[in-house]
Amino acid sequence: MAKAIRPIAAKRMESLPPYLFARISQARDRMRKEGVDVIDLGIGDPDLPTPSFIVQAMKRAVEDPAHHHYPTYEGMPALREAVARWYQKRFQVDLDPEREVLVLIGSKEGLAHLPIALVNPGDVTLVPSPGYPVYGVSTLMAGGEPYFMPLLKENRFLPRLNDIPAPVAEKAKIMFLNYPNNPTAATADAPFFEGVVEFASRWNTVVCHDAAYSEIAFDGYRPMSFLQADGGKDVGIEIHSLSKTCNMTGWRVGFAVGNRDVIDGLRRVKSNIDSGVFQAIQIAAIEALENYETHHSDTLGIYQRRRDLLAEGLREAGLEVQSCAATFYLWITVPKGFTSVEFATLLLSKTGIVLTPGNGFGEWGEGYIRAAFTRDENQIREAVRRLRQTTF
């Protein structure tokens, strides 16, 4: 019998951050085993099903043998054209479907591969903290160094571009941004994006704006696209996903749009690594983009009711909650005397409610916890009932 090998992990694996949610997840699983009715508000995955017209489109497409082959690397022309039409209708931005649109296996995939196209060892990327962890990790995987831009309450959770030291800006190949923002629920406006364009063209930095939550917004607010900013397409790309817009997290389909040189770099990386998105999913994605608005106001109404209930319950429990005009997250200040993890642990043990410690999103998330209203109204009401009975 051959001697079993002992795989020796690559050095770069050491740069991966530890799994900070492990302690909370273990406590949650232990309580569930003990029979506690745990309400998990830690998950950024919509509980609502994919609308049935999208599922039906997929069912029809999957029967067609024409879709059973390798897809094209950059996505079906019909889907790239649908993306361009959607961008024009939604944001009044013109895109060339040939060269300015690229289909992704979910937005996470595009975010993870972008630094491979742009970052050399020793280069820097500008990464929001707190933020979606993939920006920093993908930078490390490419041999680069993330420079964390603090998102602070006193600055409406927008990075202060003037605070980025010149020697860092000089080495910055990519600036990652994400508005509406996970985890803070902050939003960005035109003057901010115009400042970003100015910064990027001054330092020759590619902007990658992650717009995964652009369609999850309330009270009539409609988030803008980074490409609507004057010069946006000259300096960057925007990444979208159908995951949150159409409750399609499991389907794995998104798209990158914007600057054709950046899109081409990402396309070249991807064509050497993956073989695209199953065509039946792409057909369903076309249907989703063309018709999602018919069901969307119902979805937003559901989220908005949950947001109002949960925010009110948290405030009644004496907690400070940031305003939330978009995303399905509430960003909550941890009371004095606790770290994020300590408070999330205490909350879980006292109420059986799981929230995510803010430091899991980066150093500048310490002092906060995140609640996702991705559970149904009954569970949110029960969570609020428990919160009302609790003092911290």
Footprint on residues 24-83 left by ligand PLP (CB under 6 A): 44
Nearer to ligand PLP, 103 or 300 (CB): 103
Site for ligand PLP in 152-191 (CB under 6 A): 178, 182
- Please give the torsion angle defined by the CA atoms of residues 298, 304, 307 and 309, in that order, rounded to the nearest 10 degrees: -90
# chain residues binding ligand PLP, by CB under 6 A: 13
If one asks whether residue 291 binds ligand PLP (CB under 6 A), the answer comes out as no
Q: How far is the CB of 182 from ligand PLP (least distance, A)?
A: 4
CB of 111 to ligand PLP, least distance (A): 6
Q: Is 42 or 313 the residue whose CB approaches ligand PLP more closely?
A: 42
- The nearer residue to ligand PLP, 254 or 358, going by C-beta atoms, is 254
Give the one residue of 40, 100, 145, 210 binding ligand PLP; rule: CB under 6 A. 210
Distance CA 200, CA 194 (A): 10
Identify the DSSP state of 12: G
Q: Is position 212 an interface residue for ligand PLP (rule: CB under 6 A)?
A: yes
Long-range contacts of 144-152 (CB under 8 A, 24+ apart): 144/115, 144/119, 144/120, 144/173, 147/172, 148/362, 148/363, 148/364, 150/364, 151/181, 151/184, 151/186, 151/364, 152/364
Nearer to ligand PLP, 241 or 282 (CB): 241
Check residue 243 for interaction with ligand PLP (CB under 6 A): yes
Q: Is 157 left (phi over 0), alpha (psi -120 to 50) or beta?
A: left
State the nearest-atom distance from the C-beta of 238 to ligand PLP, in Å: 12
Q: Which of 365, 327, 323, 325 is nearest to 343 (CA)?
A: 365
* Nearest distance from C-beta of residue 110 to ligand PLP, angstroms: 8
How, if at all, do strands 320-321 and 124-129 pair? unpaired
Per CB under 6 A, contacts with ligand PLP among 106-145 are 106-108, 132
Q: How many CB atoms lie within 10 A of CB 378?
A: 9
Closer by beta carbon to ligand PLP, 178 or else 205 = 178
Measured CA to CA, the distance from residue 165 to residue 203 in angstroms comes to: 12
DSSP 10: P
Q: Residues interacting with ligand PLP, by CB under 6 A?
A: 44, 106-108, 132, 178, 182, 210, 212, 241, 243, 249, 254
